[in-house]
Amino acid sequence: MVNARDSINQPSGRRAVARCAELGRAPYSEMEGGLFRPYLGPSYRATCDRLATWMHAAGMTTRMDAAGSLLGRYEGLAPDAPVLLLGSHIDSVRDGGFFDGMLGVILGIEAVAHFAAAGKRFPFALEVIGFGDEEGSRFPSGMLTSHAVAGVLDTPDPAMRDWADTATLATALAEFGLDAGRMHAASRKGENILAYVEAHIEQGPVLEAEGRALGVVSAIAAQHRYRMTLRGMAGHAGTVSMDLRRDALVGAAEIILAAERIGRAGTDGLVATVGSLDVMPGAANVVPGEVVFTLDVRAGTNAARDRAAREILAVADAVAKTRRLELAISMQQDLDATPCDPRLTTFMEQAVRDVTGADPRLLVSGAGHDAMIMAHLAPVSMLFIRCAGGISHNPAESVTDADTDSALRAMIAFIGLFERHFG
């Protein structure tokens, strides 16, 4: 069995960490001094090429699907064997960490490399998938690629422009030899996909606080994400009296405080976040005339999420009326709570127990993952890995070789249990 003391040339947690770190710098990042890997950008292409090299070395054939996700396939005992999918996402947020998403892809490759080195084949094929657009890293619509693979992609607007306003979805795909009108061809519906398994850093502090290397995800929280615009009237900060102002920023501040209050009072893991705020015209001596901000509401159940969202939006409507502001709200993301498959969860719990010698911690993931979308295609399971301080989406994101090695051994054990109960 592999462990952290094995050579860096062998499948191991140590090698997985080193590979993630390698992919955190140019040409695999488009940010000087940090990591930013947007979907379909030059760094994305370079990363896919490097991942494909490692996939080939692990005994896999590779291809890019019609939506731009990278796949590596390790054949089963028969050419037409059903598929067990392992993976996560390749893209990153701006100034992100090395391990969010990428660690799950690399651990999938390392697990396949372990079995290839042992000459082990299964009655199912193993496929490692690196999704291209979990984060909404380039275009204002996240999880495009997993929606495509799961066969639930709404027709994307080919004219949708990226955040930098440098390209449309159509032109970005065309540079990869892909066609925006053919993204649906990435769908795996109708194929015999047995399950989707995703390893991921926890992105939270629970495992570290409890002294645990690994956790098992029981469900992924429901999410609503909105784009909200308040329009008032810009005016001179020295001449517009306080009682005549239609200050969009003050209105937004009221709504933001209400979101915090409602989020704090909620149950079922409810959280509410305003993470982006654009103020216009953005001058020190001008009353803000327009504010655009995001609202992200999450909870362990759809009911708790929906109840909180209704309350916050009702406050927003009341604030707009009281302050004589125009309010526009658009839904950016609507994801239902996703329970992980109970049978697969049992296998993952046993795998973690076998590796750590302790009963595993079950966790609800407050962060969204491609597994939420893949649940429309096949049963899903998730393994969480401790990260230092619970920090993620940040250059300080960190995991240890030893914890990552435990995760690899748990993935290997899970696949063994899956085979034992196959059919």
**pLDDT tens digits, one per residue of 327-351:** 999 998 888 889 999 999 999 999 9
* The Cα angle at residue 242 between residues 241 and 243, in degrees rounded to 5: 95
Please tell me the distance from the alpha carbon of residue 144 to that of residue 135, in angstroms, as a whole number: 9
- The answer to the question of whether 278 is labelled as a binding residue is no
Q: Is 260 annotated as a binding residue?
A: no
Extract the tokens encoding 172.
Answer: 């970005």
The answer to whether 200 is a known ligand-binding residue is yes
Per-residue confidence in pLDDT tens, the chain, 423 aa: 444 444 578 999 999 999 999 999 999 999 988 999 999 999 999 999 999 999 999 999 999 999 999 999 999 999 899 999 999 999 999 999 999 999 999 999 999 999 999 999 999 999 999 999 999 888 887 889 999 999 999 888 899 898 888 899 999 999 999 999 999 999 999 999 999 999 999 999 999 999 999 999 999 999 999 999 999 999 999 999 999 999 999 999 999 999 999 999 988 889 999 999 999 999 999 999 999 999 999 998 899 999 999 999 999 999 999 999 999 999 988 888 899 999 999 999 999 999 999 999 999 898 889 999 999 999 999 999 999 999 999 899 999 999 999 999 999 999 999 999 987
pLDDT in tens, 155-165: 888 998 988 88
For residues 360 and 353, is the Cβ–Cβ distance under 8 A?
Answer: yes
The residues facing 406 across adjacent strands are none
Residue 292 near residue 278 (C-beta atoms within 8 A): yes
CATH entry 3.40.630.10 includes domain 13-221+337-420 = yes
User: 222-335 has which CATH code?
Assistant: 3.30.70.360
The C-alpha atoms of residue 390 and residue 387 are separated, in whole angstroms, by 5
Rama region for 325: left / alpha / beta (φ>0; ψ in -120 to 50; rest): beta
Contact between 197 and 83 under an 8 Å Cβ cutoff? The reply is no
Long-range pairs of 169-172 with CB within 8 A, sequence gap ≥ 24: 169/139, 172/39, 172/40, 172/41, 172/138, 172/139
Q: How many C-beta neighbours within 10 Å does residue 222 have?
A: 26
Please give the structure tokens belonging to residue 15: 């090698």
With CA atoms as reference, report the closest residue to 407 among 146, 212, 234: 212
Token pair for 138: 């380039």
394 labelled binding-site residue: no
Is residue 418 packed enough to be buried (19+ CB in 10 Å), middle (13-18) or exposed (0-12)? buried
- Residue 164: the pLDDT is 86
Judge if the upstream peptide bond of residue 281 is cis by omega within 30 degrees of 0.
yes
Q: What is the largest CA-CA distance in the chain?
A: 79
Burial of 318 (0-12, 13-18, 19+ CB in 10 A): middle
Please check if 89 is assigned to a binding site: yes
Q: Which residue has the tokens 């629970």?
A: 206
Residue type for position 161: R
Angstrom distance (rounded) from CA 241 to CA 182 = 56
Give the model's pLDDT for residue 33.
86
- Amino acid of residue 169: L
Domain ranges of the chain: 13-221+337-420, 222-335
Q: Residue 176: phi, psi to the nearest 5? A: -95, 5
Q: What pLDDT is stored for residue 47 in this prediction?
A: 98
Residue 135 known to bind ligand: yes
Does 285 belong to an annotated binding site? yes
Helices (H), 187-301: 206-209, 248-265
Task: Report the alpha-carbon distance of residue 337 to residue 222 in Å, rounded.
Answer: 4
Q: Is residue 390 exposed (0-12), middle (13-18) or buried (19+ Cβ within 10 Å)?
A: middle
User: Would you put residue 91 in left (φ > 0), alpha (ψ -120 to 50) or beta?
Assistant: beta
Q: Which amino acid is at 56?
A: H
Q: What pLDDT score does 127 carry?
A: 98
DSSP type of residue 8 = T
User: Token pair 């109840």 is at which residue?
Assistant: 307
Q: What is the pLDDT of residue 2?
A: 42
Determine the straight-line distance between the first and last CA of the chain, rounded to whole angstroms: 26
pLDDT score, position 7: 58
The Cβ of residue 294 has, within 10 Å, a number of other Cβ atoms equal to: 16
9 marked as binding residue: no
Q: Under a CB-based contact definition with an 8 Å cutoff, are residues 146 and 370 in contact? A: yes
Q: CA-CA distance, 218 to 342, in Å (whole number)?
A: 8
